[in-house]
Amino acid sequence: MYSTPADRRYAIWLSDPSFAAAEIARGIGYGAVVLDIEHGSFDLTDLERFIPFLRSLGMEVLAKVLGPERGPIQQALDFGATAVVIPHIENATHAKEVTAFAKFPPLGDRSFAGGRTTGYGGFTDEWVAEQDAFTRCYPMIEDAGAIEAIAEILALDTVDGVFVGPSDLSLRRERGAYSRKEGDFTDLAAVASAAAEAGKPWVLPAWSVEEKEFAVQHGADQMALIMQHGALAAGFAGPFEQIKQIKQIRESR
């Protein structure tokens, strides 16, 4: 269906289940989608339908779940998400408790559901091992306590990598609104360094050229390149500015 291969390193960020946006992105070559369930308009019916659709396109699904709780984490994985991104991790102790919900015993404390991921049947020890290895768990680094404990968090067996939340991190580090200041990039560098030391991936929402350059330079495994609403705003703004310019040129003659 698509002539351009999907590149999993590059993601779009969706706040609602837009099938058209996903198909357009896949056609361009994006290979991953971040679903902002925490702040977006997804409900369980949306996720039950949209996640398998995205997977059928050959795209990885990073589900930023509603909160650091068992239910949202398990639901996203049961629907077929490739990774769960868990917001508002406070520290290493909190990370150990919450990330356990993403892995089955004895590694973690995820509860089994015989649904889509098992082909609506039973399961085996091999299936459990495959699930734990394939589905990734990314606690978000967006609280001051989390970045201070970044090495301890990355050392957890239930943690496959980390996902940075630069805006909340800036606020909680008392730098005010995120504006890509020196302190912001210092924190990002600390995350990248800790991830490299642990041999685990890190993921960054990289809206600006500076963030994209930083992510490439510091070996980010994946980056979200654009937000759905930002893409819509830019798309709508272009023709609007064009017609204004056309009218101004005509009126000036």
Contact 226, 207 (CB under 8 A): yes
On the question of pLDDT at 46 being above 80, the answer is yes
Q: Would you state the pLDDT for residue 121?
A: 86
> What number of H helices and E strands is found in the chain?
11, 8
123-135 residue pLDDT tens:
999 999 999 999 9
Please report, for residues 22, 26, 104, 171, 200, the alpha-carbon distance to residue 57 in angstroms, rounded to integers and kept in the order given. 9, 7, 27, 36, 26
Q: Is 140 exposed, middle or buried (0-12, 13-18, 19+ CB in 10 A)?
A: buried
Rounded to 10 deg, the angle between the 44-56 and 19-28 helix axes is: 20
Contact 85, 138 (CB under 8 A): yes
| Residue spans of alpha helices (H) in the chain | 19-28, 44-56, 70-78, 92-99, 125-134, 144-148, 150-154, 166-172, 182-198, 209-217, 228-251
On the question of pLDDT at 229 being above 90, the answer is yes
Contact 158, 108 (CB under 8 A): yes
Amino acid, single-letter form, for residue 114: G
Q: Is residue 230 very low, low, confident or very high in pLDDT (cuts 50, 70, 90)?
A: very high
On the question of pLDDT at 137 being above 80, the answer is yes
Cα angle: 50, vertex 53, 59; to 5 degrees: 105
On the question of pLDDT at 3 being above 90, the answer is no
On the question of pLDDT at 2 being above 90, the answer is no
CA distance 88 to 182: 23
CA distance 35 to 42: 9
Please report, for residues 1, 32, 227, the alpha-carbon distance to residue 215 in angstroms, rounded to integers and kept in the order given. 30, 16, 17
- The strand pairing partners of 227, in sequence order, are 13
